[in-house]
Amino acid sequence: MTPPLLARLDARDRAIFVRFALDSRCTHSRRSFWTTITHVGGARVSIGACLLSPMMPHVTILIAWHALLLLALSHAVVQVVKRFAGRPRPTTRLSYEALISVPDHFSFPSGHACAAMAVAVAYAWAFPTLALPLVLLALLVGFSRVMLGVHYPGDVAVGQAIALLSGYVMFAIGG
């Protein structure tokens, strides 16, 4: 039996999802915009941002290594929590049609939101002047997951929190 607090949080999460998620009648340009944003949190872009960044001016191998390590650490936590929680995606639970392909069966927490925030935090730590645009982009990636119908808002918030906490731990230990 679900405790009353969790049931209320779940109901609120579903209500917010229904309010913001796009449906199949949205315009092609709107769908394309959110699909492009959501891919920033995908494996190709997030891992690529770590591996290819030493080619950028002022980005050292150590900075890129920190970003990759934070991405791996936070993603490992997400995968453990995802399997333990086993929360079904909106496509299953609400019979909602997602506007992109659904990566797996479990919704909580969002791996894309976590990945985007982990990479943003790692580079924001190294380059504080870029912190605001990086974190804003990571927040948009999370919002895109709701807009496209593959995550509830709580999934996104917890995924981003995992990245932030992982970053705090990693940088507190490593200095």
- pLDDT tens profile 3-51: 788 788 888 988 888 888 888 788 888 889 999 999 988 999 999 988 8
| Number of domains making up the chain | 1
Supply the range of the domain harboring residue 94: 28-174
Cα 74 from Cα 159, distance rounded (Å): 9
Q: Would you say residue 126 lies in a domain?
A: yes
- Residue 38 belongs to a domain: yes
d(CA 122, CA 107): 25
Between CA 100 and CA 87 the distance in angstroms is: 19
The answer to whether residue 153 sits within a structural domain is yes
Question: 47-51, 71-75, 144-148, 160-164: lowest mean pLDDT where?
Answer: 47-51
CA 2 to CA 11: how far, in whole Å? Answer: 12
Residue 90 lies in a domain: yes
Question: What phi and psi values does residue 106 have, to the nearest 5 degrees?
Answer: -105, 140
| pTM recorded for the entire structure | 0.91
Instruction: Assess if residue 9 is contained within a domain.
Output: no
| Residue 42 DSSP one-character state | S
